[in-house]
Amino acid sequence: MKISVYSLIFKEYSLESFFKVIGKLGYKAAEVRVHEDGVHLSPYASIEEADRVRKLAGDYGLKVCCLASYAKLGYPWERAKEELDKMVKIGVLADRVNAGVFRIKIAGYNPELGYENIRRLFREQAEELFKRLQRAGVESIPVIEQHGGGDLAHSAGILKDFLRGLDPERIGVLFDPGNAVREGWLPIELQIDMVKEYIKHVHVKNYKWNPEKPGEVIPSPLNNGIVDWVKIVHLLKKLNYQGYYSLEDFRPIPPERRAKEALEFFKRVL
């Protein structure tokens, strides 16, 4: 099992401080957020900056396993052109840091467009992205995050509908069942079965129902929530999953404690 930590949960830290802490805890990999916040890697960063981040991670014994961007497929074409340009830049950066995968997203539901039009736009733009990445010589693979709210990828079912027939060697899924506990929940076995050939990266977090606000969820420990992580690890192991499990725990406790507990949990699971 390969495990990492997503830099978003250390968002108050510089990248160097983040790398230093998780390296000291015993992690061997980090997922780096791509954002124009002055802390993480900008989507418009130079090759030299990407090299600096790769070296900085390496100085603390870490590999950068994923770049997590917010660029989205499925917008109308006038906006999509800018998003595609951004994705290609991120793909180049992902190659430079040797990440292997980079996160992208699906645009949110727009009733004026409707589901079928968003799906059509997504698939047209995915094909265009493949061409652009190939022309740029990018080897890293874009992975669509399972995510609700501002994204349409609420469920494994929607992901499969959008991706059906697209080459899993060219695009994948960032499997995140924690994001589906409120919107898009399906039995874990079914979720994995539907998108199994596309799963290239996994986000790890858990939630439980909020006893004070019915229908709402609150972050919980990995071993005590709606998502059965022991079952997920078992099922993915049977499928010979080779990617990373990347911690994205949002409990309101210090991030060092979250990272330490996750490491201990996965050692028990192993």
Number of H helices and E strands in the chain, helices first, is 8, 10
Would you state the pLDDT for residue 270?
Answer: 66
Pick the CATH number of 2-269 from 3.20.20.150, 3.40.50.300, 3.40.50.2020, 3.10.20.30: 3.20.20.150
From residue 201, give the alpha-carbon distance in Å to each of 6, 10, 29, 245. Answer: 12, 19, 13, 7
Taking the C-alpha atoms of residue 4 and residue 64, their distance in angstroms, rounded to an integer, is: 9
**Domain locations along the chain:** 2-269
Would you state the pLDDT for residue 225?
Answer: 96
Would you state the pLDDT for residue 269?
Answer: 84
Question: Taking a C-beta distance cutoff of 8 angstroms, is the pair 166, 174 a contact?
Answer: no
Q: What pLDDT tens digit does each residue of the chain (270 aa) get? A: 899 999 999 999 999 999 999 999 999 999 999 999 888 999 999 999 999 999 999 999 999 999 999 999 999 999 999 999 999 999 999 999 999 999 999 999 999 999 999 999 999 999 999 999 999 999 999 999 999 888 999 999 999 999 999 999 999 999 999 999 999 999 999 999 999 999 999 999 999 999 999 999 999 999 999 999 999 999 999 999 999 999 999 999 999 999 999 999 998 886
